[in-house]
């Protein structure tokens, strides 16, 4: 595998998935007793009485790189999760910085801001394997190359009619 940024992206996504699973477990337990109560402010955050429920930010290191994961509630009952992941070295120009945002639905909230239901479906965590994904990408590249070679036999004036151009863009 040749691309380090790809590996870092996979590491970052797996970290986010781990954190989503932790949040799911924590907030399932904390929010279930609050059904029928107004817990969230207009901006989606907890009202003062329930501020202690907020998990807060997590910072740490993973594979020698630094990460910071934050989350906040939205007014529609979902949590927005943001991860920042960076590392490498400025000295040898291997530095990188990337981020990703995701969401997780936990509760249903009515128009008055009252929790009507805590979603009970278990969260299914996705695991990403860089070797498998990159292997599939290499297969697709080979197929794309074969496809482009075959399309050279078709007059270029017909490519747009056949919508072929969209399939072969890099």
The low-confidence residues of the chain, meaning pLDDT below 70, are 1-3, 55-56, 63, 89-90, 92, 122-123, 161-170
Predicted local confidence at residue 163, as pLDDT: 61
Give me the pLDDT at residue 120, please.
73
CA-wise closest residue to 19 among 131, 96, 108, 126: 126
pTM for this one? Answer: 0.69
Q: What is the chain's alpha carbon radius of gyration, rounded to the nearest angstrom?
A: 22
Q: What is the pLDDT of residue 32?
A: 87
Distance, CA of 36 to CA of 59 (rounded, Å)? 34
Tell me if 104 sits within 8 A of 20, measured CB to CB. Answer: yes
% of the chain residues with pLDDT over 90: 1
Determine the Cα angle at 55 with ends 77 and 85, to 5°. 95
| Integer CA distances (angstroms), 84 to 104, 116, 131, in order | 17, 33, 23
């Amino acid at each position: 595998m040749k691309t380090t940024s790809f590996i870092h992206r996979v590491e970052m996504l797996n970290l986010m998935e781990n954190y989503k699973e932790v949040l799911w477990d924590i907030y399932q337990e904390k929010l279930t007793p609050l059904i029928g109560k107004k817990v969230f402010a207009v901006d989606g955050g907890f009202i003062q009485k329930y501020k202690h429920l907020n998990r807060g930010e997590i910072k740490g290191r993973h594979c020698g790189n630094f990460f910071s994961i934050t989350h906040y509630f939205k007014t529609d009952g979902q949590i927005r999760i943001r991860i920042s992941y960076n590392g490498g070295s400025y000295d040898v120009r291997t530095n990188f910085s990337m981020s990703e945002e995701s969401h997780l639905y936990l509760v249903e909230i009515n128009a008055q801001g009252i929790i009507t239901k805590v979603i009970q479906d278990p969260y299914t965590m996705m695991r990403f394997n860089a070797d498998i994904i990159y292997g599939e990408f290499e297969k697709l590249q080979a197929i794309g190359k074969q496809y482009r070679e075959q399309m050279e036999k078709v007059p270029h004036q017909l490519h747009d009619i056949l919508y072929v151009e969209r399939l072969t863009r890099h």
